A = this chain, B = another copy of it.
Amino acid sequence: MIKITEVLRKKGLKVTPQRIAIYAMLSNTKSHPSAEEIYKALMPTNPTISLATVYKTLDIFKTTGLVHELSVGNGRSNYDANVLVHPHIVCTKCGKIYDFEIQGLNSLRNQVANQTDFIVESEQLTFYGTCPDCQKN
């Protein structure tokens, strides 16, 4: 946990138990939880934490680049402590969100920069389908 303390301090953030808990929870999961899910996961260990604090903290983490916010079309935001930009695939049956890696993203990004006259800053590549577990049912 000393490591998380350092991460926060390096970003110039005050180190509070809530921030440590939220960042630790997000770093230790691959599940891309929503604010509510983070809140519920922390309740047992941090019984006084509030949902508003979770939202405020995620907001600060977003703007300092500690987490990414995903919009996959489920009516809420999901959060990811892996800030290296990478694609996601969402199961349309169970809603789970998975990371994966593909090749050729650089050529894709170059094409985007060339074809649009935008200064491209980031991207969100989301695929949808049926996950292996849900295929069995």
Chain A contact residues, CB within 8 Å of chain B: 69, 71-73, 77, 87, 89, 91-92, 98, 100-104, 107-108, 111-112, 115-132, 135
Contacts and interface: CB of A to CB of B under 8 A. Distances in A.
Chain A contact residues, majority secondary structure: mixed
A101 B129 contact: no
A107 B125 CA distance: 14
A120 B127 contact: yes
A41 to B, nearest CB: 23
The oligomer's copy count stands at 2
A116 B128 contact: no
B127 A89 contact: no
- What are the 3 A-B residue pairs with the smallest beta carbon separation, nearest first? A118-B129, A71-B73, A120-B129
A118 B104 contact: no
Given A72-B71, A102-B111, A118 B122 contact: no
A89 B116 contact: yes
A93 to B, nearest CB: 10
Nearest to A132: B117
A11 B115 CA distance: 35
Contacts of A117: 131-132, 135
